Amino acid sequence: MIFTEDQIDLIAQRVTERLAKRTDGVPVRDTGGTRAGSGEGVFGDVDSAVSAAVVSQKQLAALGLEARRKIIAGMRRTLREHIEELARSALNETGLGRLEDKIAKNRLVIDKTPGTEDLCPTAVSGDRGLTLVEPAPYGVIGAITPITNPTSTIICNSIGMVAAGNSVVFNVHPGARQCSVYNVQLLNRAIVAAGGPANVIATVSQPTIESAQELMQHPRVRLLVVTGGEGVVKAAMRSGKRAICAGPGNPPAVVDETADPDRAARDIIMGASFDNNIVCVLEKEIIAVDGIADQLKASLCRQGCVEISGHQLQQLEKVIFEETRGPGKPGVMNKKYIGQNADVILREIGIRVGKEIRLGIVEVDRDHPLVLTEQMMPILPLVRVRNADEGIDLAVRVEHGFGHTATMHSKNIDHLSRMAREINVSIFIKNGPSVAGLGYGGEGHTSFSIASPTGEGLTSARHFSRDRRCVLVDHFRIV
Ligand code: NAD
């Protein structure tokens, strides 16, 4: 007897489900080994993960939209019960960031990642009938996630991808393997409990760069969604598949002479110190107009920042950089200090402060490597400029054309408009902290995959859908 591919998939699924029954009572935490058959999405190799995801996607799509709504609600409900646990496990495993901010990130993606409501069919009717365009699933999505937001990216991607009717195979950052695997298991439990199929969210138990490459090349993966630095973005773009790429940023915060210095200082501290500066949208340098720079610095210090003085700068450079390549060029940050608390970094240059200090600031020249590098640590350079136009020009230069995120503090609408036009970023925040652009203290939905290189911006279910046009000729124009 010859089986079709679909029949083989279904047989594999039945075997998987039978095995799943036998593993009842096995602790949910990842053991590091192959968990194929657990129904909780963890597989020993890419091909097994993709094969299971092919089956689960067909089952998910067959369930319909209302079932998907219930599944998304179930995912949110389960994850809410594990917000702190997931945050703590990410912090313990990666050693990056702050617990309270990781909790806030998880809560944000659970509450504000759009579900099925993001899928809006469109219709055109006329004398020749009715044409309907509907957002349809791609099938299996291959997703690659960063070490900086491991659980929040998985949660956010999963909600959007499942809402659009896809299954997903994650290749997570190896340095965040355990918390990510646990997150995947929780998601599958929630989906199954809400009446969905097993293994809608799949992952490999031992992710590596090689397994990421294999996922990118897998013939049954229809769409790639990668979140990370320049290397992974380039790799995804070379894959030959459709790729949604969320890449690096170096967001400037321009403060002109019309800004409220206290409010600007408050917002910059909130954004730049959030999770110790490891999130891609956060302020990575301040560009302040001379007329306000001293007031701004004084307010930053009054509100809890520590200023690193000129004579401590050389010492700081030796600590935080692994390599500098001279003025005007980005350097390489010392990984040891990425995502660490400000007091830990400041101690290395002889400044002893308490854990409550969230941010160090340092005035530097505009060509300083700290201005040009995505530092991902709570040490923020400040550059002085003569006027707003010079500040905007510099902001455009140091953003490197990533097109990611920028902020500006100003009450001058000409300045705000010029910056908005010239900087050409996916997210531009006026008179607020960068995180407001993620819907955290600002309006709008959230996303932890902001696709600047490929242009989708804050990705959501609609981006994980392909348009399908359905045309009825000469009928159903009913007016
Ligand atoms: P990273 O680029 O080192 O790793 C990201 C992921 O890509 C990991 O899973 C890693 O294993 C994989 N990877 C790296 N190089 C690869 C290659 N050549 N082939 C296949 N896979 C590869 O980044 P990171 O340190 O985990 O995260 C921080 C970076 O990600 C920062 O640059 C940050 O701005 C960016 N980021 C962007 C967004 C966004 O929404 N735009 C969100 C989070 C992080």
Atom of ligand 1 nearest to the CA of 452: 41
Residue nearest to atom 28 of ligand 1 (CA): 228
Atom of ligand 1 nearest to the CA of 144: 9
Residue nearest to atom 35 of ligand 1 (CA): 228
Pocket mutation for ligand 1, best pick of 280, 400, 402, 427 (most atoms within 8 Å of C-beta): 280
Residue-level pLDDT at 263: 98
Residue 471 has pLDDT above 50, yes or no: yes
How many angstroms separate the alpha carbon of residue 164 from the centre of ligand 1? Answer: 24
Residue-level pLDDT at 30: 40
d(CA 176, CA 409): 36
Atom of ligand 1 nearest to the CA of 213: 20
> In whole numbers, what is the pLDDT of the chain averaged over residues?
94
Residue 1 has pLDDT above 60, yes or no: no
Residue 207 has pLDDT above 70, yes or no: yes
Q: Name which of 243, 265, 247, 272 is nearest 98 in CA terms.
A: 272
Residue-level pLDDT at 35: 44
How many angstroms separate the alpha carbon of residue 281 from the centre of ligand 1? Answer: 14
> For residue 34, what pLDDT band results from cuts at 50, 70 and 90?
very low
The answer to whether residues 226 and 383 touch, using CB atoms and an 8 Å cutoff, is: no
> For residue 146, what pLDDT band results from cuts at 50, 70 and 90?
very high
How many angstroms separate the alpha carbon of residue 150 from the centre of ligand 1? Answer: 10
How many angstroms separate the alpha carbon of residue 228 from the centre of ligand 1? Answer: 2
Strand-strand pairing, 450-451 and 42-43: unpaired
The per-residue pLDDT for range 404-417, each reduced to its tens digit, is: 999 999 999 999 99
> For residue 180, what pLDDT band results from cuts at 50, 70 and 90?
very high
Residue 78 has pLDDT above 70, yes or no: yes
Rounded mean pLDDT, 379-394: 98
Q: Name which of 341, 346, 343 is nearest 91 in CA terms.
A: 341
Atom of ligand 1 nearest to the CA of 207: 11
Residue-level pLDDT at 310: 87
**Cα 421–425–272 angle (5° rounding)?**
120
Ligand 1 residue neighbourhood (C-beta within 6 Å): 144-149, 172-174, 209, 212-213, 227-229, 231-232, 235, 246-249, 280, 374, 448-450
Rounded mean pLDDT, 76-100: 98
The answer to whether residues 244 and 449 touch, using CB atoms and an 8 Å cutoff, is: yes
Rounded mean pLDDT, 215-231: 98
The answer to whether residues 282 and 434 touch, using CB atoms and an 8 Å cutoff, is: yes
The per-residue pLDDT for range 11-33, each reduced to its tens digit, is: 555 544 444 433 332 333 443 33
Residue-level pLDDT at 6: 52
Pocket mutation for ligand 1, best pick of 181, 209, 332, 373 (most atoms within 8 Å of C-beta): 209
Residue-level pLDDT at 393: 98
Q: Name which of 54, 38, 51, 81 is nearest 192 in CA terms.
A: 38
Q: Chain-centre distance of CA 383, in angstroms?
A: 28
Q: Name which of 253, 252, 257, 363 is nearest 301 in CA terms.
A: 363
d(CA 471, CA 132): 6
